[in-house]
Structure 1
Amino acid sequence: MRTPLIAGNWKMNGSAELVASFGRAFAEAELPGDLEVAIFPPFPYLEAARREFAETRIRLGAQTLNPLHSGAHTGEVSGGMLREFGVQYALVGHSERRQLYRESDEQVYDRLLAALSVDMTPVLCVGETLEERDAGHTREVVLRQVGHVMARLEPAQRARVIIAYEPVWAIGTGRTATPEQAQEVMAAIRAYQGGFDRDLAAGLRLLYGGSMNAGNAAELLAQPDIDGGLVGGASLKVDDFLAICQSAG
């Protein structure tokens, strides 16, 4: 049985008060028993989040990390530094990092290895643009992104990776892949993993990450190969994010 995960990516949003409000709400919230919850706040809020979330089930994640452990890299943050703040997850390959900051598949791979090296759980983000979907290249694009990383890992490393499918055309647009569209891609990812190891594929956690919200979460999460969500805009609203978490039960 795969443990569901609802992860909130705040991107470059948030405030100290938002951190505190999540801490208060989730300290009292009733959540499904086996659910994992993670918040990925901007770096400056990690220490406040660690304090505020101490009495909750929320775990901390980082939105990115540098593949190196230290050095003359102004403005960058390493995995070792993040671990000192209790960070357990790291996003790698988010579409905004790929598009806005030109992160290549190889750079995504390096960041994923860096996360694994400090015992963080990497959440590998993959997905196609609208042009790629309209051209019928969804499966090709997604499996290329998955394969560039997963085919090069050792079995023990693969077992520690979570994959988030985030159709680029559905991020921040209010558009959402239908449950059937999302399930089709998730099933393809799981089948691809089955080529390495059927048991690993059966245990691989797959998240949907394209405008999941309180209104569509239950239907998406009911799909057999969707094990949780990587939530964007709705993760900035306490009540909405809590509703998504509760729908994962």
Structure 2
Amino acid sequence: MADSITEKRVVISPDKQHLAESVAARFVSRVEKQVADGLTVHICLTGGSMGGAVLEAAARDPRTPAIDWSGVHFWWGDERFVPRDSDDRNEKQARVAMLDALDIPAENIHAVAASDGSLDLDGAATAYADELAQFAPADRTDGGAWPAFDICFLGVGPDAHIASLFPDRPEIQITDRATVPVRDSPKPPPERVSLTRPVINSSTRVWMVLAGADKASALGLALAGASYASVPAAGAKGRRRTVLFVDEAAADQVPPQLIDQEY
């Protein structure tokens, strides 16, 4: 393993359940420490089966009820532009899994507008960007109009997409704004709002969580240094840490030298 703190690390769990519990424990520990240090914490969530499983495991953690969540803000890397109560909403999944059980101010949960509201898809993307800009650090030097996520969770699709940035599509190339509307998504539902790559990569930590044999090829390509345009997961990186949490089934093509046994 290279010494650089920006090197991608691969942490392997035996199965999906252990994977969710391992990531959740690290997540709760990180939030607990940041809150204890008096810091405001911004977390970017993901959807998908593993995104929900991690939050469910975090909700079960005995430390969770004791944390002061008033200084923690939750965002989403992408959202499906569907009605508010749709099961396809990443927001709904996260609320059911964990958020609704937390003692947290309602305004700390920053959801993308739903399709049954007053905004169209472009308006939803713009409104989300505007809300992100309200929490941009005053001392930021890179000009980014968005908060500094302490952790950005990402799922990875079998095609290696992250958030709603799909391979060989224009959205992955956009760098001049914080959000982008996605139409005709290769994966349903067809309309979505996604963060762009600069927002994801300005996160302190990027944690990609993926499980299953169908993710092995995507993981291998991401680690092999493939072009982010065709393999979006290859272009995701945190400023301090980039960790790929995987189960053994997904780790089939991981070179042994990239496996981190200590993180």
TM-based fold match above 0.5: no
Q: TM-score, normalised by structure 2?
A: 0.32
Q: TM-score, normalised by structure 1?
A: 0.33
Structure having the higher helix fraction is: 1
